[in-house]
Copies of this chain bind each other. A is one copy, B any other.
Amino acid sequence: MTRLQIVTITETDDVRLADYVRLRDVNLRRHLEAERGLFIAEGEKVIRRALDAGYQPRSFLLAERWLESLADRLDDHQTTPIYLVTEKLAEEITGFHVHRGALAAMHRQDPYTTADLLGWDRLVILEDIVDHTNVGAILRNAAGLGWQGALLSPRSADPLYRRAIKVSMGSVFSLPWARLDDWGSAIPLLNDHGFTTVALALTDDALNLDQVRERLAAHGTGKIAVMLGTEGAGLSEQWIAQASLVARIPMQAGIDSLNVAAASAIACYALNQPPTR
């Protein structure tokens, strides 16, 4: 442990902690993290998963007791500063009670491009999902149910935002994802690459999700891209019109539509397996 770059911090305005300020301020953080090319990993498990996925740390912000439990990983990054703080100080800097007292600032990287993902068989496509919780939950569901990747429209929320990472249980690191360069050409691009693009929408002429499953199975298990629309308004008319199929989850009359994350769970379950006989 002796060669680690441990720096004990005692002042909340220490400039070395600038990556960690006011983590609850979404607007500030969105700006700051994009500008500096960083994101924040929170909690031991998430830090480990980010490192496993190849993300490089800029620094760690730890309460002392984490030095030991993260020792194996800290040893791998001996040139990375470790800012040692009390939990109280961490709370004053970040603005909230730090989940289990361990944070890391990581360098952003874009490990995948849209072109990488177009070669695969099972993708989830997010159109303007603006809520970090929903983005995280959808990526977790997709990863857990065996889908291979996710493409996000330009206006969708950042999967590397702290809240999205946390809700995803770190799936944002293990599930390949990329941001689409262009909203307008996204669905034609998928169609051209052999995907059956399935729009989830409550339109009158939508097929029941089970029918879609049957139809896909009848034509062999080809490439499938499930399209999920923005909270509230759902998928745009343009994306619905461009989709190969429109599917609806059978809903109880008089109830609001399901939350988009719940809908993603159902669609990823229903469309990623052969029909039951």
Enumerate chain A interface residues (CB-CB to B < 8 A): 137, 140-141, 143-146, 169, 171, 174, 209-211, 213-214, 249-252, 254-259, 261-263, 265-266, 269-270, 273, 275-277
Contact = CB atoms under 8 A, between A and B. Distances in A.
A269 B259 CA distance: 14
Contacts of A276: 210-211, 213-214, 275-276
Contact of A277 (B137, B257, B265, B277): B277
Given A255-B174, A276-B275, A249 B262 contact: no
Closest 7 CB pairs of A and B: A262-B265, A146-B252, A210-B276, A144-B255, A266-B269, A265-B265, A144-B258
A69 to B, nearest CB: 19
A228 to B, nearest CB: 13
B262 A137 contact: yes
B141 A262 contact: yes
Given A276-B213, A276-B276, A277-B277, A144 B266 contact: no
A43 to B, nearest CB: 13
A252 B142 CA distance: 9
Contacts of A259: 137, 140-141
Nearest to A217: B276
Contacts of A261: 262
Contact of A250 (B146, B211, B255): B146
Contacts of A250: 145-146, 269, 273
A258 B145 CA distance: 8
A242 to B, nearest CB: 26
Contacts of A174: 254-255
A140 B258 contact: yes
A268 to B, nearest CB: 9
A276 to B, nearest CB: 5
A250 B265 CA distance: 12
B275 A265 contact: no
Contacts of A249: 145, 269
Nearest to A212: B276
A213 B270 CA distance: 12
Contacts of A146: 250-252
Contacts of A211: 276
A171 B144 CA distance: 27
